[in-house]
Amino acid sequence: MKKALITGVTGQDGAYLSELLLSKGYEVHGIKRRTSLFNTDRIDHLFQDPHNSDGRFVLHHGDMTDSSSLIHIIQKVKPDEIYNLAAQSHVAVSFEEPEYTANSDALGALRILEAIRILGLEKTTRFYQASTSELYGLVQETPQKETTPFYPRSPYAVAKLYAYWITVNYREAYGIYACNGILFNHESPLRGETFVTRKITRALARIKLGLQECLYLGNMDAKRDWGHARDYVEMQWLMLQQNVAEDFVIATGVQFSVRDFVSLAAKELSMEIRWEGLGEEEKGFWVDAPNARATPIVAVDPRYFRPTEVETLLGDPTKAREKLGWTPRTTFAELVSEMIREDLRSAQRDELVKGHGFATFNYNE
Ligand code: NDP
Ligand code: GDR
- For range 353-362, the mean pLDDT: 81
Tens-digit pLDDT profile for residues 158-179: 999 999 999 999 999 999 999 9
Q: Which residues contact 10 (CB under 8 A, 6 or more apart)?
A: 30, 32, 39, 40, 42, 43
Measured from the Cα of 65, ligand 1's closest atom is: 18
Place 361 in a pLDDT band, splitting at 50, 70 and 90.
Answer: low
Q: Give the Cα separation of 145 and 318 in Å (integer).
A: 8
Ligand 1 pocket check for 186: Cβ under 6 Å:
yes
pTM, entire model: 0.97
Q: Let me know: does 301 contact 204? Beta carbons within 8 Å.
A: no
219 CA → ligand 2 middle, Å: 9
What angle do the packed helices 67-77 and 108-118 form, to 10 degrees?
40
Mutate to test the pocket of ligand 1, among 41, 89, 150, 190 (most ligand atoms within 8 A of CB): 89
Q: Measure 364 CA to ligand 1 centroid, in angstroms.
A: 20
Pick the closest to residue 182 from 117, 234, 123, 247 (CA basis). 247
How far are the Cα atoms of 90, 194, 227, 321 from residue 136, in angstroms, in the given order? 16, 22, 17, 20
- Residue range 291-306: mean pLDDT, rounded: 85
Radius of gyration of the chain (CA): 21
Residue type, 212: Q
Cβ atoms 77, 29 nearer than 8 A: yes
Q: Give the 3-state DSSP-derived string for 206-258, with helices as H, strands as E and coil as C.
A: HHHCCCCCCEEECCCCCEECCEEHHHHHHHHHHHCCCCCCCCEEECCCCCEEH
> Position 363: which residue type?
Y
Q: Is the pLDDT of residue 52 over 60?
A: no
Is residue 191 within 8 Å of residue 125, measured between CB atoms? no
Find out whether 290 and 361 touch, Cβ atoms under 8 Å. Answer: no
Range 243-264 average pLDDT: 97
Instruction: Looking at the CA of residue 154, tell me the nearest atom of ligand 2.
Output: 3
User: From the CA of 284, how far away is ligand 1's center (Å)?
Assistant: 32
Is the pLDDT at 213 greater than 70? The verdict is yes
- Per-residue exposure over 133-159, b if at least 16 CB sit within 10 Å of its own CB, e if not: bbbbbebeeebbbeebebebbbbbbbb
pLDDT at 22 over 70: yes
Contact status, residue 359 vs residue 220, Cβ threshold 8 Å: no
Atom of ligand 1 nearest to the CA of 104: 18
**Which ligand has an atom closest to residue 13 CA?**
1
What is the pLDDT at residue 55? 83
Q: What end-to-end distance do the CA atoms of the chain give, in Å?
A: 43
Residue 299 confidence (pLDDT) above 80: yes
Identify the weakest region by mean pLDDT among 52-56, 145-149, 193-197, 260-264.
Answer: 52-56
104 CB near ligand 1 (under 6 Å)? yes
Interface confidence (ipTM) of the complex: 0.99
Contact 129, 181 (CB under 8 A): yes
Is 60 exceeded by the pLDDT of residue 325? yes
- Catalytic residue IDs: 132, 134, 156
Residue 326 pLDDT: 86
Cα–Cα nearest to 245, from 174, 317, 321 = 174
State pLDDT tens for residues 145-155: 999 999 999 99
Taking CB atoms and a 6 Å cutoff, what residues make up the pocket around ligand 2?
Answer: 89, 91-92, 132-134, 184-185, 194-196, 199, 217-219, 222, 224, 258, 304, 306, 309-310
Ligand with minimal distance to 224 CA: 2
CB of 217 closer than 8 Å to CB of 203: no
pLDDT tens by residue, 65-105: 999 999 999 999 999 999 999 999 999 999 999 999 999 99
Nearest to residue 344, comparing CAs of 290, 257, 271, 261? 271
Ligand at minimal distance from the CA of 134 is 2
152: left (phi over 0), alpha (psi -120 to 50) or beta: beta
**309 Cα to the center of ligand 2, angstroms:** 9
| Mean pLDDT, rounded, for 260-281 | 83
Confidence bin at 15 (pLDDT 50/70/90): very high
Angular region, 55: left φ>0, alpha ψ -120 to 50, beta rest: left
Residue 281, pLDDT > 60, answer no
Write down the pLDDT at residue 276: 74
Query: Does the pLDDT at position 64 exceed 90?
Result: yes
Q: How far is the CA of 87 from the centre of ligand 1 (A)?
A: 4
What atom in ligand 2 is closest to the CA of residue 313? 4
